[in-house]
Structure 1
Amino acid sequence: MRSEFFRHARLCVAGITLALMASTAYAEPAHGIAMYGDPALPPDFVSLPYANPDAPKGGEVVTGNVGTFDTLNPFTLKGEAPWQLRFLTHESLMGRSYDEPFTLYGLLAESVETGPNREWVEFTLREDARFSDGTPVTVEDVIWSYKTIGEEGHPRYRSFWSQVGEIEATGPRSVRLTFTTEDRELALLAGLRPILKKSQWDDLDFAAARLEDVPIGSGPYIVDSYEIGRHVTLRRNPDYWGADVPFRRGTSNFDEIRIEYYGDNTVLQEAFKAQALSYLREFNAERWATQYDFPAVESGEIVLTEIPHNKPSGITGFVFNTRRPPLDDWRVREALILAFNFEYVNDTLTGGRQPRITSYFSNSELAMQQGPAEGRVRELLEPFADTLPPGTLEGYTLPESDGTKRNRGNIRKAMKLLNDAGWTVDQGVLKNAEGRPLVLRVLLRQDALLSQVQTYMEIYKQALERLGIGLQIETIDNAQYLAREGTYDFDITFMRRDLSLSPGNEQRLYWGSDTADQEGGRNLMGMRSEAADAMIDEMLSTRSREGFVAAVRALDRVLISGRYVIPVHQYSVGRIAHLKELSYPQDHLPVYGDGIWFLPEVWWYEAEDR
């Protein structure tokens, strides 16, 4: 009996020892962290796989934005800043590799450590990390940055901060964040918060910063000069501290990046043809195929490059503001989707060259499967069956037209849905029971990426007239647009949400119930869905890749069957027209394809005498 007792005791001690060893091993400082599994790159990696560590430094690149800017602080709600600044002038503790679904490697931090369940994360700063003015990046700067941006910064930063229970220094170069929410992604999001210099703001109001109060960062570029509404010039810092950090090798190769502002896309396009801009991204396949035959292309001075990717389609299209009746009725939204004759529009504007988005995560393994929900996806959704819109569990596909301009079949279906929702046509005008006509207001902004959106709406307006619906199209400048978008002052507007292979907390910002009425928020449709909230929670708490995929597929069903957006084209390939002197690593393209992490991040200037 005594030997049996000690045998059990030894087994218990052995089990406890193994558990402690496993916990300790998991919590050891590491060079990187992945959402699932281990980082693909080893601790001694030389550079990111899609960067050329031997890329030459030098030259300048000029890019163009449409609109204007009135601040150089991209971290507050006040004003509009050049969007590129957050990525080029400031850094975070870790940096993201765009060759993996969601993996971070050390940048300002040399290592990362987490608790067994990622209930906390700890970072150790590199001893030589410096701001652009040469002063060291300290733990005090890190703690101040998290608190200040989390409490006074742009709303996009506040959701993360609300889930931090404690932030504390654990050593002269280490800082730990402890979370209040069971969410595996928080440890990674913590590594991506921008770090600013605390002492700069001792006598300044961060949230109400003036134009000249440019936040000091630690990034490879600094603001060299600017003219309000005209241009911003960034200069590569010759004393940049991180040039030899593996994550940075082969990146930030241009000596100068100049951001020119233009009043509209037409002027920007002409500036590029005249080679006043170094590159231009083209999002219209028809224009790419038919309008890039101007002299500079034919002579070889401008090169046309296509960059494939393997990321989800995301959602691009016209979003309904469901805060406003009758857009709060799914039947009305379905009728409006039926009336949007995508097949005809696609043929007219892109020659049928760009396929349609079929769901928010289409083009990836995260996309919902066609037909009825099955397996774990059904298990996740069934508790919410009574609240789900038709088609969520049964299967929903976007309506297709016959491709003709009249779109008769879908117009008939749309009218039946509108009648069911209490709308009838009286003398050619669709009215409700109180006799009020249905008139929708579309809010659009002047933007280089949205040059064909106005045409979409002009065609759509004619289709809605056949249903007796009025459509008023209002195009305004960026400043006015942002103000009205931030207060949800629209019926319909254009929306683009890029989605990754590892969606996470940003999903709460896009379609979480808590953000539906948050001023300046990203939930443009005003979506409130218990099912969507639950699927996001499941995505963030599950510990297996299989469980994660099921949760995302279930969320995808809730989103697409909710009829919140009229989806348009997929952008399945990046199209970049650029000066012949601009080069990039062609032997290994990032899995996420083109983006600011690609151009200008890893491109370089190839001088003619090389």
Structure 2
Amino acid sequence: MKRPLFFLCLLLSCVLCHHAAHAEPRLHALALGDTPKYPPGFVQFDYVNPDAPRGGSMRLSAIGSFDTFNGFLPKGIAAAGAGLLFDTLTVKSLDEPFTEYGLVAESMELAADNTWIIFHLRPEARFHDGVPLTARDVAFTFETLLAKGSPVYKQYYADVEQCEVLNDHAVKFSFKTGENRELPLILGQLTVLPRHYWETRDFAKADLEIPLGSGAYKVEKFEAGRSVSYVQDPNYWGRHLPVNRGGLTFERIAYEYYRDSTVAMEAFKAGEYDYREENVARQWATGYTGPAFDQKLIVKQEIPDHTTYGLQGMIFNTRREVFKDPRVREALAYAFDFEWSNENLFHGQYVRSASYFSGGELASSGLPSPEELALLEPWRGRIPDEVFTSTYQPPSTKAPGSLRENLKKGLELLQAAGWQLDGDVLKKDGKALQFEYLERDPAFERIMLPFVKNLERMGVKVVVRMVDTTQWLTRIRSFDFDMSTVPLGQSDSPGNEQRYYFHSQAADMQDSMNLMGVKDPAVDALVEAVISAKDRKALVAACHALDRVLLWGHYVIPCWHNTVWRVAAWDKFDRPAVQPKYAVGQGYWWVDVEKRARILKVRPDLTNKGF
């Protein structure tokens, strides 16, 4: 009778020894290429005030409408702030390029060869109904997003081979290879959904049922498509974690919806909401006037922006026949006069973008370095020669250039592509060169009209189609547009998201961000080089190489960017002494009782508006 027990103990001993031999040290943070700034046992982030008072509200604005609280689907428009309902495995710090610290995950084990990661969950983690958050919820979330969520998740998690529940508080993700250095951090961003809640509901149904979460806030009330407010959960399990210390100061966060930015601006002046980031230069220069400003109830400030901006551009949908020839796309860019727009419309506030990674070291410049050439040479002859010989710069009217000369160059390119003037209209095979420009923001229409007139001088006919935000999103998601202006935001550490921005597989995947319809094996290979970069130097080289090929593909007409955040707020807030490098950080502000009282003395009517 003792013999079987002996062999059982021996077997168990071998298993434990085997696991111990392959165990990795527990990590409190995940960093891409750098040592985490904050050590194990850190108390708080540097950019917070740990003694910030709690209470009050921050009221924000949103444009358009919403029809669901489920933002994980390829349909519907999620309510602003819906992410407040949920916690993620880890949290990104705002003063490091890309480092994440444990939230739901107490610690992590990462394979030395980067082929797997284990997240060890905090036993105290709970959903709003008090049910413990476990590894089975993590696995359920991962599998559900792949099966029923937006198609982009399949691209995002394409390098994950398997998800295993090891025990109630440990979940392991195994990778197809160890090449994707960013993948552990990508998985750390996973929002954890409650299995017990969704197993009795249709996850694919986009509706306004309030979902069960685990985050610091719950939905307090909402009016479909018009407003939504969130209130802190008094029983929130993670309030005292280091990553939350100094945050979660507002008892209530509310969003009011407006038809467009013009209406929203007037509502801000009237005290309907508290905080605004301005993205219209003319508005910033001339629109912030009125009684609230005269009485110094609203303050304006410009905060240095150290982030990688990415690229806002007038995007060509190359699925359309008219834009398949890159010479046509290049030619049309000569009709946009940025210098005139910056002087006459933008009050000189902008810098012309010339990179898909504008704003930092990831933007290409000069000629390719040896490291970049190693990635580019295999594609010589299949990518534009200019990638190797020239520095990309968008057309300029800065002296000695001129709009007249630019339009002449554009027309020459169009004629080389087979388009010929018939009277004052360009035609090819009897068809006129014409397309529709899709826009949702009335403020942008004034920018487009001079561009449209310049195109007409070249013989190109453009119809500007104004639609509301809901229509715009629907058409953009389904690639039902010719041209539109869309921001392609980038992080300071690009990775998996490049697949659904630029990879061929995403070109036919509705709801992806490959809006241009890029299908190029060279771009695919360079995207993979970005994802598999082993260190920062390799990442920079891969981003530069990808940037060059995309730029010389003429998929967009680059717009512009700013080097500061333009922020305005009703003067009821105070903020930490330290500004985070990579964000405004308004989530760490707090309501100053005395400042609020001063405003209410002047504007007592705001008491009834949730001020």
Match for residue 605 of structure 1 among 591, 596, 599: 591
CA distance in 2, matches of 1:533, 1:53: 45
CA distance in 1, matches of 2:593, 2:56: 8
CA distance in 2, matches of 1:148, 1:197: 11
- The alignment partner of 2:380 has SS state of helix
- Show the counterpart of 1:566: 557
Deviation at 1:426, TM superposition (A): 0.4
CA distance in 1, matches of 2:549, 2:193: 39
- Show the counterpart of 2:71: 74
Asked if the contact 1:65/1:259 (under 8 Å) is kept, the reply is: yes
Asked if the contact 1:509/1:522 (under 8 Å) is kept, the reply is: yes
Match for residue 243 of structure 1 among 239, 252, 273: 239
Deviation at 1:84, TM superposition (A): 2.3
Deviation at 1:405, TM superposition (A): 12
Deviation at 1:545, TM superposition (A): 1.9
CA distance in 1, matches of 2:207, 2:328: 45
Asked if the contact 2:285/2:347 (under 8 Å) is kept, the reply is: no
Residue 495 and residue 23 in structure 1: after superposition, are their counterparts in 2 closer, same or farther (change >3 A)? farther
Match for residue 328 of structure 1 among 324, 330, 341: 324
- Show the counterpart of 2:518: 527
Deviation at 1:238, TM superposition (A): 1.2
Residue 459 and residue 500 in structure 1: after superposition, are their counterparts in 2 closer, same or farther (change >3 A)? same
Deviation at 1:71, TM superposition (A): 0.7
User: Are 1:555 and 2:551 an aligned pair?
Assistant: no
**Matched residue type, 2:272:** A
CA distance in 2, matches of 1:122, 1:579: 45
User: Are 1:588 and 2:578 an aligned pair?
Assistant: yes
CA distance in 2, matches of 1:608, 1:75: 41
Q: Structure 2 length as normaliser, TM-score?
A: 0.91
- The alignment partner of 2:409 has SS state of helix
CA distance in 2, matches of 1:582, 1:361: 33
**Matched residue type, 1:115:** A
Asked if the contact 2:318/2:517 (under 8 Å) is kept, the reply is: yes
Residues 305-357 of structure 1: CA deviation (Å, up to 9, x unaligned): 22112122310121000111231111111111111111111112112221111
Asked if the contact 1:343/1:403 (under 8 Å) is kept, the reply is: no
Match for residue 467 of structure 1 among 450, 458, 465: 458
CA distance in 1, matches of 2:267, 2:386: 48
Match for residue 514 of structure 1 among 505, 520, 529: 505
Match for residue 290 of structure 1 among 286, 291, 295: 286
Match for residue 536 of structure 1 among 527, 552, 558: 527
CA distance in 1, matches of 2:278, 2:218: 28
User: Are 1:575 and 2:582 an aligned pair?
Assistant: no
- The alignment partner of 1:534 has SS state of helix
- Show the counterpart of 2:4: none
CA distance in 2, matches of 1:210, 1:424: 51
Match for residue 105 of structure 2 among 89, 106, 109: 109
- Show the counterpart of 1:13: none
Match for residue 384 of structure 1 among 362, 379, 383: 379
**Matched residue type, 2:593:** A
CA distance in 2, matches of 1:334, 1:270: 39
Residue 162 and residue 378 in structure 1: after superposition, are their counterparts in 2 closer, same or farther (change >3 A)? closer
- Show the counterpart of 1:47: 44
Asked if the contact 1:151/1:161 (under 8 Å) is kept, the reply is: no
**Matched residue type, 2:324:** D
Deviation at 1:475, TM superposition (A): 1.2
Aligned residues: 577
User: Are 1:394 and 2:409 an aligned pair?
Assistant: no
Alignment map for 1:254-403 (pairs within 5 Å): 254-370=250-366, 372-395=367-390, 396-402=392-398
Asked if the contact 1:312/1:360 (under 8 Å) is kept, the reply is: no
**Matched residue type, 2:377:** E
Asked if the contact 1:313/1:357 (under 8 Å) is kept, the reply is: no
Match for residue 456 of structure 1 among 447, 451, 472: 447
Percent of residue pairs bearing the same amino acid type: 40
Asked if the contact 1:309/1:590 (under 8 Å) is kept, the reply is: no
Residues 9-63 of structure 1: CA deviation (Å, up to 9, x unaligned): xxxxxxxxxxx9x9968x2111001011321111121112222221111001111
Deviation at 1:609, TM superposition (A): 7.3
Gap runs ≥5 in structure 2: 1-17, 597-611
- Show the counterpart of 2:606: none
**Matched residue type, 2:153:** Y
Asked if the contact 1:583/1:603 (under 8 Å) is kept, the reply is: yes
Match for residue 189 of structure 2 among 174, 177, 192: 192
Deviation at 1:163, TM superposition (A): 2.6
Identify the range of structure 1 (360-369 vs 421-430) with the bigger mean alpha-carbon deviation: 360-369
- Show the counterpart of 2:208: 211
**Matched residue type, 1:155:** P
Match for residue 479 of structure 2 among 465, 471, 488: 488
Residues 200-223 of structure 1: CA deviation (Å, up to 9, x unaligned): 1122110114322x2211111111
Asked if the contact 2:311/2:355 (under 8 Å) is kept, the reply is: yes
Asked if the contact 1:321/1:524 (under 8 Å) is kept, the reply is: yes
Residues 260-280 of structure 1: CA deviation (Å, up to 9, x unaligned): 111122211111001111011
Asked if the contact 1:513/1:529 (under 8 Å) is kept, the reply is: yes
Deviation at 1:439, TM superposition (A): 0.7
- The alignment partner of 1:490 has SS state of coil
Residues 481-536 of structure 1: CA deviation (Å, up to 9, x unaligned): 12211221111011102211101110111111110110111100001122222122
- Show the counterpart of 1:9: none
CA distance in 2, matches of 1:71, 1:524: 24
CA distance in 2, matches of 1:402, 1:201: 58
**Matched residue type, 2:417:** A
Residue 352 and residue 23 in structure 1: after superposition, are their counterparts in 2 closer, same or farther (change >3 A)? farther
- The alignment partner of 1:413 has SS state of helix
CA distance in 2, matches of 1:564, 1:348: 27
CA distance in 1, matches of 2:208, 2:55: 29
- The alignment partner of 1:531 has SS state of helix
Asked if the contact 1:344/1:405 (under 8 Å) is kept, the reply is: no
Runs of 4+, deviation exceeding 3 Å: 22-25, 402-406
CA distance in 1, matches of 2:342, 2:470: 30
Asked if the contact 2:396/2:402 (under 8 Å) is kept, the reply is: no
Asked if the contact 1:74/1:83 (under 8 Å) is kept, the reply is: no
- The alignment partner of 1:44 has SS state of coil
User: Are 1:120 and 2:111 an aligned pair?
Assistant: no
CA distance in 1, matches of 2:49, 2:276: 22
- The alignment partner of 1:430 has SS state of strand
Deviation at 1:287, TM superposition (A): 2.6
Residue 478 and residue 285 in structure 1: after superposition, are their counterparts in 2 closer, same or farther (change >3 A)? closer
CA distance in 2, matches of 1:531, 1:43: 42
**Matched residue type, 2:326:** W
Deviation at 1:474, TM superposition (A): 0.7
Asked if the contact 2:49/2:246 (under 8 Å) is kept, the reply is: yes
**Matched residue type, 1:341:** D
CA distance in 2, matches of 1:268, 1:545: 41
Please provide the CA RMSD for this pair: 2.0
Identify the range of structure 1 (224-233 vs 49-58) with the bigger mean alpha-carbon deviation: 49-58
- The alignment partner of 2:365 has SS state of coil
CA distance in 1, matches of 2:402, 2:451: 11
